[in-house]
Chain A
Amino acid sequence: MTAWERFADSFFNARVAAEYLPKIIDGFWLTVVLALSIVVSGLAAGLLLALVRSLGVRPLNWLIIFVVDLFRALPPLVIITLLFFGLPAAGMELSGFASTWLALSLVLMAFSEEIFWAGITSVPKGQWEAARSTGLTFLQTLRLVVLPQAIRLTIPPLTNRTIAITKGTALASVVAVQEILGAANAGVSFSFNPTPLTLGALAYLVLFIPVVVFGRWVETRFAWRR
C-alpha cells in the first residue's frame, strides 16, 4: 500500500463511513436542536435583562452587570463542567444536553445583554423625550421608537457572537452528548479508524459555512457608514 492509500484508508474509509454516517446524521440534528434552543433562550434572556436594565433601578442594575460580567469571564467549558459534575452534589442532576444548553444560554444571555444595552443607550435621550411627549407610554416608546433603532445597530455584533457561541455546542461531547463530535468520537473508538472524525468535521462545515457566510453578509449589509 502506498502512503496515499494508507492515508485514504484511514481518513476516507468508505466502509467505516457508510457504517457511521447514520450516527453522524443523528448527531447533526441534535447539534441543530441544541444550537437553536441556545439561540432562542439566550437571546430572549439577554433582551429581557437589557429591558429590565433600562428601567434604571440601581441595585437591580448592579446585579445585572455582575451576572453579565460573570458569564463573559468564565470559559463555557468551566460552566458546563460545574453544572454537569457539580450540581449532583446539591441533589440536582442535569443531563449533558441540559447542562450544555443552560451554560451556553447563560453565556449568550450575557453577551447579548451587553450588545442590546449598548444599542439602547446609543439611541439619543431626545428620542425618548420626544416620543413620550407625543403621548406614547414607556412601553410603546421602547417598542416603536427605541428598539427598532437599537436592534439595527446591534445586528452585526449579535450575529457574530451568536455564531461563535453556537459553535460551542461541540463542548457537549465532553459531557457525553451524542451530538456531531460526540457521535464521531464514539465512532472512532468503536471502529479504530478516524473516518468518523472526518465525517464529523464535514458535518460541521455543512452546518456552519453557510452561517459564517451569512454573518459576513450581515456585517456589510447593516454596517453604518461613517
Chain B
Amino acid sequence: MSWDDFAFAFFNLDIIREASPILIQGLVQTILLSLLVVPLGLFGGIVLALLSTVRNPLVRWPLIAWVDVFRALPPLVLLVFVYAGLPFAGLELPAWAAVAIGFFLNTGAYYGEILRAGIESVPRGQMEAARSTGLTRGQAMAYVVLPQAVRNVLPDLISNTLEVVKLTSIASVVALPELLYQARQAQSVTYNASPIVAAAVIYFIMLWPVVRLLSRLENRQLAAARG
C-alpha cells in the first residue's frame, strides 16, 4: 500500500472537512455529557464515602456490597441493562437518562472508594480537634476533614475523572450522538476511516494535557510513598 493510498484511507482532508460539522456537534455532546456525569458521579461518591464513616453494620455491609457490585459490573453492561432492559419493565428511558443512571451507579462507586480512602487518610485528631472547637459533626466533616481528604487523593480523583470522560464514548452504543457515534456515522456514509481518525485526534488533543499532569503527580506520589 502506497503512502497516497494510506493517506486517502486514514487522513483524507476532504472527507474530514465534510464531516467536521457533525464531528463538532459530537464533541459538544461529549463535553455536555461529561459535564452531566462527572458531577453526578462525584455526588454519588461523596454520599457513599460519608456513609462509609458510619460504623453501624446495618449500613456498612450493604454499602460494601453496593460498591463491589457496581465496581464488578462493566459500565457497558450497566448501560445496556438500563437502556435495553428497563423498557421491558415498562420504563422507557431516553438515551441520555440511561447513560446518566448507568454512569451514576458505576462512577459513583469508584469516586466513593477514592474519597473513602481520602477520609481515612486524615488523622482522627483532626475530627476531634474540630469538634472540640464547637463545630458540629457535619461542619467538621465539611470544613476540616473533606478538604484535606480531597487534597490527599487528588491524583486519583483526576485520574478517575479522565476515565469517566473517556468512558462517555460508550454512550455511542445507545445511539447518543456524541463524538464517537458521529464519527462512526460519517465513516459508514463515506466508507472512509478518516472521520474515526479525526475523532481519535480530537480525544487525544483534549485529554493529553490531563495525562501529562497525571503522570507527573503519580510519579511524585510513588516517590513520596517510598520515602
Contact = CB atoms under 8 A, between A and B. Distances in A.
Interface of A: 7, 10-11, 69-70, 72-79, 81-82, 85-87, 89-91, 114, 118-119, 121-122, 153, 164, 167-171, 173-174, 180-181, 184-185, 188, 193-194, 197-198, 200-201, 204-205, 207-209, 211-213, 224, 226
A194 B223 contact: no
B172 to A, nearest CB: 7
Contacts, number: 150
Contact of A226 (B84, B222, B227): B227
12 contacts: A69-B208, A69-B215, A72-B211, A73-B207, A73-B210, A75-B203, A170-B76, A181-B76, A181-B77, A185-B84, A204-B73, A209-B69
Interface string B48-88: 00000000000000000000110111111100110011001
Give the interface size class of chain B: 35 or more
Nearest to A114: B215
A11 B87 CA distance: 11
B163 interface: yes
A200 B77 CA distance: 8
Given A73-B203, A171-B170, A193-B88, A86 B73 contact: no
Given A74-B204, A82-B200, A181 B74 contact: yes
A174 B80 CA distance: 11
Contact of B73 (A75, A119, A205, A213): A205
B92 interface: no
Given A86-B197, A197-B85, A224-B226, A75 B167 contact: yes
